Structure 1
Amino acid sequence: MTAPRWRLILNGKCAGDDDLREAVGKLREAGVALGVRVTWESGDAERHVDEAIRDGVDTIVAAGGDGTLSEVATELARRDEPAETLPSLGLVPLGTANDFASAAGIPEEPLPALQLIRDSAAVPLDLLRIDADDGTHWCANLASGGFGTEVTVETDEGLKKMLGGLAYLITGIAKLGRIEPLAARVSGPDFAWEGDFIALGIGNGRQAGGGQALCPDARIDDGLLDLTIVPELSGEVASTIGTLVKDGKHAALDRVAVRARMPWVELVSDEPLALNLDGEPVRSRRFRVECVPARLRMHLPAGCPLLATA
């Protein structure tokens, strides 16, 4: 039997992870032909994915956070080949927040995460394709705008390294007194909304920014995106924060959010609007976000809560 051929693409910030090094060694001892490449600068992921496909690998493993997953998925999705002819995708979560991995139930430790990839069949994975003023982007997890985007963008790298996901909460609390709503027109099939919002999520996955579950019911294999809009709250801010403390953040969100599920959505704003695409801020006056069904294949746990088929 031919040994499985894998290529692990590792975020350079995590290159000194001893647990990952040990786990790679154990997978090699178990018969997996596992090569490692490290990303240091823009363009590295594209080069490594191209090389892996030329080498005929079976699986490409993204080792890092949500941004690394999205970067590798983007380079696969940009190719003309259908999903079944491309390498499958695996994930070893090594980032700060690891929102996709957390929601999907992927193990936090490198060895169990690699063993999951080895022992599970790849399943179809939808992706979000975003057309903006500057071109086309892809998103594996969640596109967010408003307050959550500013928190994610402004959170200090050193603080994230020390505190992990807690860093986003601290930054968010610091910003609570100066939330400025954004204005947009949002439309999709049988859906139209216009007004000021403080947070917006367009989910393939469910959460971003260290656990902000903006799209708590999203599925990654249903061919649909989940839209959540948190309107400007005016006098309800105090009572909403009270609910947040008493009942938890999901209860507070449910009180005020506008939600919909659809295959595509368009956002239009008179001023440039920032969407955070798995950690990559993109500014545009107009976005069209489309769910592309089964664009890739990914190794996920049995009973993964993000799967409609679970």
Structure 2
Amino acid sequence: MTSPRWRLILNGKSASDVELRAAVQRLRGRGVALDVRVTWEEGDAERYVAEAIADGVDTVVAAGGDGTLSEVAATLAHRAEPAQALPSLGLVPLGTANDFATAAGMPATSLEALSLIAERPARPIDLLRVTADHGPHWCANMASGGFGTQITLETDEGLKRMLGGLAYTITGLSRLGRIEPLQARLEGPDFQWEGAFIALGLGNGRQAGGGQALCPGALIDDGLLELTVVPELSGEIAPTLGRLITAGKEAALEAVAVRARLPWVRIVAEQPITLNLDGEPEISRRFQIDCVPARLRMHLPAACPLLGTP
């Protein structure tokens, strides 16, 4: 029987992770042919994925945060091959927020995460394809705009290293007095909304920005994205909602949000707006966001909350 062949693509920030090193050795001891590549600069992940495919590996493992997962997933999704012909995708969560991993119920330790890949068959998952001025881009987790995007972009890297996800909350609280609404028109099949918003989420996954659960009902295998729009608010409720959004409280969103589940959404704005695509900002006046069904295959927990089909 041929040993499974894996290629682990590790974010360079975690290259000295002792726990991961030990977990890799454990998996090799179980008969997995597991090679590691460490990213150092832009383009490394894309090159490593291409090499892995050329080498005929069975599984590509993203070891890092949401950005690393998205970069590896995007590189696979850019390929012309169908999902069945591509390596499956695994994840070892090592980032600051790990929003996708948290929502998916992924194991907390490196050994458990690698063991899950060995034990659980890969499942088809959707991805978001975002077309803008410099597109297309792919999102494994979420595209977000407004309040949450500014929190993510403004949170200091040193603060994230010290405080983890709490850093996003602190940054969000510091912005409560200067939430600036954005004006846009959103449309999709049997859906249209136009106005000023302070937060926007287009979810394949459910949360972003260190725990902001903007799309709490999103699934990654239903062929639909979940859209959440938080309109401009006034009076005392505005700072209260801002605090609750930062803390990821679903009740605050339910009270005021516009929600829809759609196969695609088009955004048109008079002035350029910024969407955060799994940590990467994209600025444009027009966005087309499509949910591409079953674009990849991923190893996920048996009771993964993001799966609609057991």
Normalising by structure 1, we get a TM-score of 0.97
> What's the counterpart of residue 113 of structure 2?
113
Q: Are 2:211 and 1:215 equivalent residues in the alignment?
A: no
* Structure 1 unaligned residues grouped into runs of 5+: none
Closer, same or farther in 2 for the Cα pair 1:212/1:64, shift >3 Å? Answer: same
Closer, same or farther in 2 for the Cα pair 1:3/1:248, shift >3 Å? Answer: closer
* Matched-pair contact (CA < 8 Å) for 1:243–1:251: no
Partner amino acid, structure 2, of 1:266: R
Distance 1:122 1:35 in 2: 20
Over residues 252-283 of structure 1, what are the superposed CA-to-partner deviations in whole Å (9 max), with x where a residue is unaligned? 11101000001000001111110001000000
Closer, same or farther in 2 for the Cα pair 1:243/1:130, shift >3 Å? Answer: closer
Distance 2:147 2:301 in 1: 32
Give the CA RMSD over aligned residues: 1.5
* Matched-pair contact (CA < 8 Å) for 2:144–2:275: yes
- 1:244 positional shift: 4.0
Partner amino acid, structure 2, of 1:219: L
> What's the counterpart of residue 196 of structure 1?
196
- 1:249 positional shift: 1.7
Distance 1:239 1:93 in 2: 32
Partner amino acid, structure 2, of 1:165: G
Matched residues, percent identical?
Answer: 73
Distance 2:82 2:248 in 1: 42
Partner amino acid, structure 2, of 1:21: R
Number of positions where the alignment pairs a residue of Structure 1 with one of Structure 2: 309
- 1:216 positional shift: 0.1
> What's the counterpart of residue 149 of structure 2?
149
> What's the counterpart of residue 34 of structure 1?
34
Equivalent positions of 1:92-107 (< 5 A) are 92-107=92-107
- 1:248 positional shift: 7.6
> What's the counterpart of residue 206 of structure 1?
206
SS in 2 for 1:235: coil
Over residues 20-67 of structure 1, what are the superposed CA-to-partner deviations in whole Å (9 max), with x where a residue is unaligned? 000000000110000000111111011000000000000000000000
Q: Are 2:258 and 1:258 equivalent residues in the alignment?
A: yes
SS in 2 for 1:26: helix
Distance 2:242 2:307 in 1: 33
SS in 1 for 2:131: strand
> What's the counterpart of residue 267 of structure 2?
267
> What's the counterpart of residue 299 of structure 1?
299
* Matched-pair contact (CA < 8 Å) for 2:105–2:305: yes
Distance 2:122 2:248 in 1: 35
Equivalent positions of 1:214-253 (< 5 A) are 214-237=214-237, 240-241=240-241, 244=244, 249-253=249-253
SS in 2 for 1:6: strand
SS in 2 for 1:159: helix
> What's the counterpart of residue 65 of structure 2?
65
SS in 1 for 2:136: strand
> What's the counterpart of residue 14 of structure 1?
14
* Matched-pair contact (CA < 8 Å) for 2:176–2:242: no
SS in 2 for 1:207: coil
Over residues 118-147 of structure 1, what are the superposed CA-to-partner deviations in whole Å (9 max), with x where a residue is unaligned? 000000010000000112100000000000
Distance 2:128 2:251 in 1: 27
* Matched-pair contact (CA < 8 Å) for 2:177–2:239: no
Over residues 63-94 of structure 1, what are the superposed CA-to-partner deviations in whole Å (9 max), with x where a residue is unaligned? 00000000000000000000001000000000
- 1:234 positional shift: 1.2
Distance 2:228 2:71 in 1: 24
Normalising by structure 2, we get a TM-score of 0.97
* Matched-pair contact (CA < 8 Å) for 1:243–1:252: no
> What's the counterpart of residue 163 of structure 1?
163
* Matched-pair contact (CA < 8 Å) for 1:148–1:199: yes
Distance 2:239 2:172 in 1: 18
Distance 2:176 2:237 in 1: 10
SS in 2 for 1:211: coil
